[in-house]
Every structure is written in C-alpha cells, then in structure tokens.
Amino acid sequence: MSSGIADKLRVRSGCKYVTTREMPPSRQDNDTFRMIVSACGTIESLQKLRKLLLVRLNPNVSINCREKALMLAAQVYEQLFDQDKTSLSNSDL
C-alpha cells in the first residue's frame, strides 16, 4: 500500500526519492492510517511535495478529532488521486 503512494508522490512532485513508513494506528481511529514521508530532491520538487500533502481545514468548523482526521485523509487522497482523473480526461481531448 505505502509503496504505491510513495511512487505516486515521487512522480507527482518530481522528487528523486520518496519513502513512506506507516505509523501504528491510534486507538481512536481505525478508519485511516498515518504515514511518515521522507524525500530527497531539488528545492522545487520538495516544495511541490509539500503542496501536495498540505491540507487546510476551516478553523471555524467545530468537529471532533475523528471527523477532522477523516477530513484530512480525504483531502490528501483527493489531491493525490483525483488529479489523475482530470489529467487523463484532458489528455483524451
């Protein structure tokens, strides 16, 4: 699972190397998993990687920690995988 995500991050960011390590699941949330991402590349590719993994939540929304973790995971997933769908549809034109 994590090697596919690392490959996707490497290709999308342009980093030379990207490795991921899964962290043990928290006691509260078994629906998502956390990862540590390590990368090596140019400053530009590392900045692109940071932008890919950056998610922003509305601070005014009052939600519990579990819902916040699910929202963060969904945003990262969308940034990584939904971009491929739009780029594929644009290349078909």
Residue 15's Cβ-count burial label (10 Å; 0-12, 13-18, 19+) is: buried
3-state secondary structure 44-78: HHHHHHHHHHCCCCCCCCCCCHHHHHHHHHHHHHH
pLDDT value, residue 54? 83
Confidence band for 46, pLDDT divided at 50, 70 and 90: very high
In tens, the pLDDT along 57-79 reads 777 667 777 777 788 888 888 88
pLDDT value, residue 41? 95
pLDDT value, residue 60? 66
CA gyration radius, the chain:
15
Domains of the chain, residue spans: 2-91
